[in-house]
């Protein structure tokens, strides 16, 4: 996938708040939008919503007193279905679209809390790569709880969970993507299911709920290990990709290329990850007949 909508959670910074206030209550995405927009309006004029995202797990930098804080996204049926402990809302200014702000927003014991990571010296220069003409405002996108219903009704999800019952939705994001199989200017929910040895990206039309595209790593025959990785990853390619015109690169979660793989041996591919920061990435393998990506995580 190219230019997958921004997953901004890596910029969370709540270190200045007390431990009690950092007990986040599960909340639907649209329940926090008004708070996030009000706070964004203090930074930019007429904020327009570009994307919304959350994750399941701990995030580097999201901690207090040296203790990591667990973020959650719930897919179980019940009162917390589709709720997350915090959401990130990305806005730009209607008056000057080059001006952007990310608001990290959650519901605490003392009320809603919305923070601009830039106020706490968190580097968000990467946000410059998230520029887009598409906005979510004015579109009747389905909320995160309804999205879960469509997700769980899809055979792709049920088959994956039958094989990997302990898999979790590692990333959940709402926004736009530039990809051949997706409708331009149409919003989508992106759900990245992660199991220990496999992963599945399910893309759900945010207007209709239809599952429109699925990237299943295992069925594509493209494998990356270890995952998570530290210094290197090993890659196994299907026979259809082992040819001289195949190009391999690493892209970040915005679709920006961060590393070209040169001098490759397609039958025995080991990739050095030096120079890449911890985080979520995609390995992209493409030739004239195919363009495939596989998610992986770098840890240190």
DSSP string, 158-169: HHHHHH-TT-EE
Whole-model pTM: value is 0.69
Query: Can you give the pLDDT at residue 120?
Result: 58
- Between 288 and 168, residue with greater pLDDT: 168
- Between 285 and 265, residue with greater pLDDT: 285
Mean pLDDT along residues 279-283: 80
Q: Tell me the pLDDT band of 234, cut-offs 50, 70 and 90.
A: confident
Strand order in the sheet with 247-252: 257-260, 247-252, 279-287, 290-298
Partners of 287 in the β-ladder: 290
Mean pLDDT along residues 262-282: 76
> Architecture of 221-298 per CATH?
Sandwich (2.60)
In angstroms, the CA 78 to CA 217 distance is 30
Six-digit token pair at 34? 């008004």
Partners of 192 in the β-ladder: 171, 201
Identify the H or E element spanning 145: helix 144-153
Question: What are the pLDDT digits (tens) for 12-41?
Answer: 333 333 444 457 789 999 999 999 999 999
Query: Can you give the pLDDT at residue 217?
Result: 44
In the block, tokens 């591919």 appear at 269
pLDDT cut 70: percent of the chain above it: 72
- Average of per-residue pLDDT values in the chain: 77
Six-digit token pair at 107? 């519901």
Question: What are the pLDDT digits (tens) for 84-136?
Answer: 998 889 999 999 988 888 888 888 888 888 877 666 555 544 444 444 678 99
Domain locations in the chain as residue ranges: 1-217, 221-298
Q: Tell me the pLDDT band of 218, cut-offs 50, 70 and 90.
A: very low
Question: What are the pLDDT digits (tens) for 33-91?
Answer: 999 999 999 999 999 999 998 877 765 554 545 555 667 899 999 999 999 998 889 99
Q: Tell me the pLDDT band of 240, cut-offs 50, 70 and 90.
A: low
* DSSP SS3 for 202: strand
Read off φ and ψ for residue 106, nearest 5 degrees. -150, 165
């Amino acid at each position: 996938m190219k230019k997958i909508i921004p997953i901004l959670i890596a910029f969370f910074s709540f270190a200045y708040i007390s431990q009690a206030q950092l007990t986040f209550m599960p909340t639907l995405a649209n329940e926090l939008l008004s708070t996030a927009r009000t706070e964004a309006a203090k930074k930019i004029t007429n904020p327009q919503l570009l994307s919304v995202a959350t994750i399941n797990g701990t995030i580097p930098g999201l901690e207090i007193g040296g203790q990591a804080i667990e973020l959650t996204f719930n897919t179980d049926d019940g009162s917390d279905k589709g709720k997350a402990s915090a959401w990130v809302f990305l806005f730009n200014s209607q008056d000057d679209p080059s001006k952007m702000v990310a608001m990290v927003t959650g519901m605490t014991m003392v009320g809603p809390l919305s923070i601009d990571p830039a106020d706490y010296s968190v580097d968000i220069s990467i946000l410059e790569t998230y520029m887009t003409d598409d906005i979510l405002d004015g579109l009747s996108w389905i909320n995160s709880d309804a999205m879960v219903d469509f997700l769980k009704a899809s055979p792709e999800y049920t088959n994956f969970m039958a094989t990997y019952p302990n898999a979790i939705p590692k990333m959940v994001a709402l926004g736009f993507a530039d990809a051949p199989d997706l409708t331009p200017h149409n919003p989508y929910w992106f759900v990245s299911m992660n199991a220990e040895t496999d992963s599945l990206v399910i893309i759900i039309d945010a207007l209709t709920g239809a599952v429109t595209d699925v990237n299943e790593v295992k069925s594509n025959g493209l494998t990356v290990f270890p995952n998570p990785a530290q210094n290197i990853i090993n890659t196994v390619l299907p026979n259809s990709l082992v040819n001289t015109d195949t190009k391999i690169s690493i892209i970040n979660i915005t679709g920006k290329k961060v590393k070209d793989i040169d001098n490759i041996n397609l039958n025995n591919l080991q990739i050095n990850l030096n120079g890449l920061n911890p985080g979520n990435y995609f390995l992209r393998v493409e030739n004239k007949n195919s363009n495939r990506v596989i998610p992986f995580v770098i840890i240190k």
